[in-house]
Structure 1
Amino acid sequence: MPTDPVGRFLAALDPDHRKVVGAKPQEEQERLAAAWERELESDDELDTLDELSPSAAEAEAARRVMEDRT
């Protein structure tokens, strides 16, 4: 499992979004990963979900970040 923010963000994305984000410049990937981390930290619903399933919380935060960007 990746430990860097970009790697963790890419792992949390669905395959289609992973491909799209993977094709973006590194700076854009880092910006999206930072937005993803902020989403994970700031949303109380995700805190609850994280207790039940950390990977589900990460996937939901990734979905939200990508939804906001499209």
Structure 2
Amino acid sequence: MPADAIGRFLAALDPDHREAVSGRPREEQERLAAAWERELESDDELDTLDELSPPAAEAEAARRVLAREP
């Protein structure tokens, strides 16, 4: 399992999005990973999902972060 925030964020993405985000500049990847971590920390609904399935909570947070992207 990746130890850094970007690696964990990329691992939470589905394969198509992972490839697309991997091709973005490092600064943008860092920004997205930080937004992903904030989403995981701040959403109570994800806390409940995290208790049942941490990978599912991480994937949902990643999906939400990308959905907010222009």
TM range (shorter): over 0.9
Shift of 1:62: 0.2
Structure 2 gap ranges (5+): none
Shift of 1:51: 0.3
Q: Give the SS at the match of 2:68.
A: helix
Shift of 1:8: 0.0
Q: Determine whether 1:26 maps to 2:26.
A: yes
**Displaced runs of 4+ in structure 1, greater than 6 A?**
none
Count of residue pairs brought into register by the alignment = 70
In structure 1, give the amino acid aligned to 2:16. Answer: D
CA RMSD of aligned residues (A): 0.6
Partner of 1:37: 37
